[in-house]
Structure 1
Amino acid sequence: MEDEAGGASMGEHVEVNGTTLWAESRGQGPDVLLIAGLSDPAEAWQAQLDGLSDRYRVIAFDNRGSGRTPLPERPVSVGMIADDAAELLRALGVDRAHVAGFSGGSAIAQELALRHPEAVRSLVLMSTWARADPYFTAMTRFWHWLATQAPDERAMLEAFFLWIYTPRAHANGMVQHIIDDTLAFPYPQSAETFQRQLETFMRHDTLDRLPGIMAPTLVLAGELDMATPVRLGRAVADAIPGARFEIMPQEAHQPFQESPDLFNARVDAFWREVDGHAPPS
C-alpha cells in the first residue's frame, strides 16, 4: 500500500484482545499513540503520521468498526477499545506512549489512562467530553438516524460534516475533497456499523472518574466546535488534576486535519516539555 505522500505504508495487522487491529507505525523516537474518532481510520492522522514521524515513532490504528478492523457482533464498550489500545502498545513493544485522542478517540484515551495508567506517558485530549449533556445527546441521536435516512452517502456526509469542519473548510473545497476521499476509500464503513460505533461513544461517561488520571494532560478545544463545544472540554480539564485547557481560535472539531502545522507544533511542544526537553510554555 502507498500513503498519500507516495511512500511505503508501514501498516500491519496485529492480533490483540480477541480481534485483529490494523495499525500503522512511522518514524523513530519517543512513542506516540494516536486514537481516532467516530468512523475514522488510521488515515485520518495522515498529517501527523507524515509531519511528526521525523521526531517520534507515531502509531495510529483502526478502531473496532473502522477501516480494516472488524466490529464484533457482541456489544462493544469504550473500555474494550481502550484495552485494545493497551494491548496494541504491548504487542508493538511499547512500554509507555504519549497518547493523543480525538473526539471518540479522546473518550478511548481517557479510559486508557484510567485502566492502564502505566502505559500513558502523557495525554492530549482533542475535541473531548466526559459526560453527554442534552445538546450532545440530541445531536448524536440525529446523527444516528441521519446515517440511514439521508438520500445517499454523499448527502449524509455533507450534513454530518456541518458539525465537524469550519465554514472556511466548506468554502475552500476542503470538505468536498474529504468527502470524495471518503467515498473512494476501499474499506468503507456501513451505516449500521456507524450507528453501532456511535452508540458506543454515546454511552461514554468518565466525569466522576477523571480525578484518577495522573498523566500530564493537555485538553484542546476548537473555538468554533459545535460537536464538542468548549464547555465540554473545559469540564474535562477541570476534573483532571493539573490538566491544561487551551482553546484553538477559529478552529472547529477537527483542527488536526484543517490546521495540521498548528496542531503538530502544539502537541510537539507539550511532549517535549513532558520529556524535559523544553521549558514550560
Structure 2
Amino acid sequence: MSCEALGMGAQADLRRGLGFMRPLGRVGPSVIEPDLPPARAIDLPGRGRVTVRVVDGDTPALLLHGWTLTADVNFCHLMPRLPGGLVAMDHHGHGRGPTRAERFTIEGAADDQIALLDALGIDKAIVLGYSLGGPVGLDLARRYPDRVAGLVLQATALRFDSWMDKLTKPLLRAVRPLTALGLGRTASLRFFGDTRNRSTETKLLWQWLRRELMLCHPRTMVDVMLAEYDFDFRPHTASLKDVPTVVMVTAKDSAVPPRDQRAMADALGAEVITIEEDHDVFLAAPETYVAASLEAIARVTT
C-alpha cells in the first residue's frame, strides 16, 4: 500500500473519531420536511409501540439506517424512489424505534427487524444497510437467510478495528456514565454540520434534520459504537455465499475507510458499485446516492 493511501486511511480514522468536534452553525426559522411515505404505528411484542414507514411491494427493501440517525434522515431521498416497496423502522434507542431496557446490540437490532417483518406478514425483503445498518443486515442475513432476497451493504465493513477505533473504545467505556447527564447529545449534529454547506437540499431540510438528529440518546450513541467495535463478521462470510450481495463503496469516506469496504466486498464475493463520495453522501449528494442504491437493488434482484 502506498504512503498516500496510508495517509488517507489515517485521516479517515481521525475524522471518524473526532467528527463530533465540528461546529454546528446557524439554522433558519422555518421547518421544511421531505415528502416521505405515510407512517403507521405498530405494537411489537416486547418492544413497545414503534413508528414505521411501509410501501407495499412484492419484495420490499428493508432499510437499515446508520449510527445516531433515523430511517427518515438516512433514506429521505431514497424512499420516494423505490419501485418495489419498502419497510423502514428506526433501530433500538434511535428515533421512534423499539424501546427496551437492554443495551443496544447488533443481534437485538436484527431481531427487531425480523419481528417487524413478522408483524407485517412479509416473508422476504431486500436488506439494505447503511453504515451501522451493514452489521445489522449481515447478522440478519446469517441467522435468518430465508428472509433475505438480496443484500445491499453501503459505507460499512465486516469489522471496525482501525487504530482510532482501538483508541476510542476504552474512552467510550470511561465516559458512558456521563451520558446520563446528556453529554454528547449534539454529536450527530456536529458530524453532519458541514454537510448542509455542500447540498442545497440539506440546507433546506436542516431545521427538520436538526430535530431528527437530536432524537438519539447519548447513551445509545456510545452503546452502538461499543457494539460495532465488538462486531466481527469475518468468520461468517461463507454463510452468505448463496445470498446475492452488492457492496456500495464510498471512495472518499472519512468515517469507514474505503479499504475496509473493499475488503468486505472481496471476502463476501460481492459485486461492487463505487461512488466518489464521503460518508454523508445520502445528504450531501442525494442524486448520486439514490442512483447507486437503485442500481444495487436492481443487481441483487436480477
TM-score class, shorter: 0.7 to 0.9
1:271 aligns with 2:258: no
Q: Distance in 1 between matches of 2:168 and 2:203?
A: 22
Q: Distance in 1 between matches of 2:217 and 2:89?
A: 19
SS at match of 2:69: coil
CA spacing shift, 1:263–1:184, aligned 2, 3 Å: closer
**Equivalences for residues 192-203 of structure 1 within 5 A:** 192-203=219-230
CA spacing shift, 1:275–1:47, aligned 2, 3 Å: same
Residues 193-224 of structure 1: CA deviation (Å, up to 9, x unaligned): 22223222222111111121121111112111
What RMSD over aligned residues (CA atoms) do the two structures have, in Å?
3.2
**Equivalences for residues 83-122 of structure 1 within 5 A:** 83-122=111-150
Q: Which residue of 2 aligns with 1:34?
A: 63
Query: In the comparison of the two structures, how many residue pairs are matched?
Result: 265
CA contact (8 A) 2:150 2:300 kept: yes
Residues 4-38 of structure 1: CA deviation (Å, up to 9, x unaligned): 34577232224056444432112545311000111
Q: Which residue of 1 aligns with 2:41?
A: 12
Q: Which residue of 1 aligns with 2:236?
A: 209
**Equivalences for residues 88-167 of structure 1 within 5 A:** 88-138=116-166, 141=169, 144=172, 153-154=185-186, 156-157=187-188, 159-161=190-192
- More helix per residue: 2
User: Scaled by the length of structure 1, what TM-score is found?
Assistant: 0.80
Greater RCO between the two (CA within 8 Å, min separation 6)?
2
Q: Which residue of 2 aligns with 1:260?
A: 286
CA spacing shift, 1:194–1:107, aligned 2, 3 Å: same
CA contact (8 A) 2:70 2:213 kept: no
Q: Which residue of 1 aligns with 2:254?
A: 226
Q: Percent of counterpart pairs with the same letter?
A: 24
Greater Cα shift, 208-217 or 6-15: 6-15
User: Scaled by the length of structure 2, what TM-score is found?
Assistant: 0.75
**Equivalences for residues 24-63 of structure 1 within 5 A:** 24-44=53-73, 45-52=75-82, 55-63=83-91
Q: How far did 1:80 drift?
A: 1.5
Instruction: Give unmatched runs, 5+ long, in structure 2.
Output: 1-31
Residues 178-198 of structure 1: CA deviation (Å, up to 9, x unaligned): 664343349722222222232
CA contact (8 A) 1:16 1:88 kept: no
Greater Cα shift, 42-51 or 132-141: 132-141
